[in-house]
Amino acid sequence: MITPSQIRAGRAIINAKQSELAKAAGISLATLNNIERGVGDPRTSTLDAIEHALSRAGVEIQGNDALETVTLHRLARPSAYDTFLASQRVLEALGPKSLLKGHSVLFYARRNRRDPDERPRVCLMIEGEARTVLFDQVDFNLSSGARVAEVAGIMLAAFAFHRGDVHYLTDILDDTTVTDTEEAVDRLRSMGGAPLQHPRDFFDVFDSWDDRVTALATREGHPMRDLAALFFD
């Protein structure tokens, strides 16, 4: 079970304030403050929530009678998920409670090495203060209204919380999953990316913004409608 010293070290390694960790863990600031000072007898569920929040931020906690360690994984590449669950993970990383503290979001499209003629997949890299997360193993694409909804929802969050820090690559890349995480991240960083002022610019790299708006933006509750409304001109 996580200890007060590990919590303090975990916060320090990702440069998180007590208030930020408390918000991410869903507990009060006073509760976290007491736990870190060794005051009271916190519930197991509360300690689990703190450890889970730190884990989401890339902090690995280990310890036994002889050794106690707090390690930060600076690069992360979540494994392939069901796209709905993966989109929730992306939204969490982009959101205001995220300990990732993202300062740059890069969208790009990549081919599938197994089938180069298949519809390109939508990927993104989120750079935070102490950690970078690359989402390129999830099958985000625009093959159906439901899949477009996932991508549009992610873009809505990116613009809502990181507007001015959202970029995109103007070319479709070969499959980035064939290289290890460090090499893939270095490659993407070296490519820079153009500022993404309007989602149309990214969609038109590999699809058609106008076609998607025409097909889906009239559907009540569809994220594409909200995304189009955000950039109505």
The pTM of this model reads: 0.92
pLDDT tens-digit readout, 81-123: 888 899 999 999 999 999 999 999 999 999 988 877 789 999 9
Spatial separation of the C-alpha atoms in residues 73 and 176, rounded to whole Å: 20
pLDDT tens-digit readout, 68-90: 899 999 999 998 888 889 999 99
Q: Which of 22, 46, 72 is the last residue of a domain?
A: 72
What b/e sequence results for 19-43 when a residue is b if at least 16 CB atoms lie within 10 Å of its CB, and e otherwise? Answer: ebbbbbbebeeebbeebbeeeeebe
Q: Which of 21, 50, 72 is the last residue of a domain?
A: 72
Cβ count within 10 A of residue 222: 19
Same domain, 49 and 87: no
Predicted local confidence at residue 159, as pLDDT: 96
| Helical pair 18-25 and 44-56, crossing angle rounded to 10 deg | 110
Spatial separation of the C-alpha atoms in residues 84 and 123, rounded to whole Å: 14
Helix (H) or strand (E) holding 29: helix 29-36
Residue holding tokens 């902090």?
59
Predicted local confidence at residue 233, as pLDDT: 55
pLDDT tens-digit readout, 152-161: 999 999 999 9
Same domain, 153 and 187: yes
Q: Does the pLDDT of residue 25 top 90, yes or no?
A: yes
Q: Which of 53, 72, 91 is the last residue of a domain?
A: 72
Average pLDDT, the chain: 94
Q: Which percentage of the chain shows pLDDT scores above 70?
A: 100
| Helical pair 223-230 and 209-216, crossing angle rounded to 10 deg | 120
Q: Which domain holds residue 111?
A: 75-230
Looking up residue 200, the CATH number of its domain turns out to be: 3.40.1530
The residue ranking higher by pLDDT, 26 or 64, is 26
Q: Averaged over 160-188, what is the pLDDT?
A: 96
Helix (H) or strand (E) holding 81: none
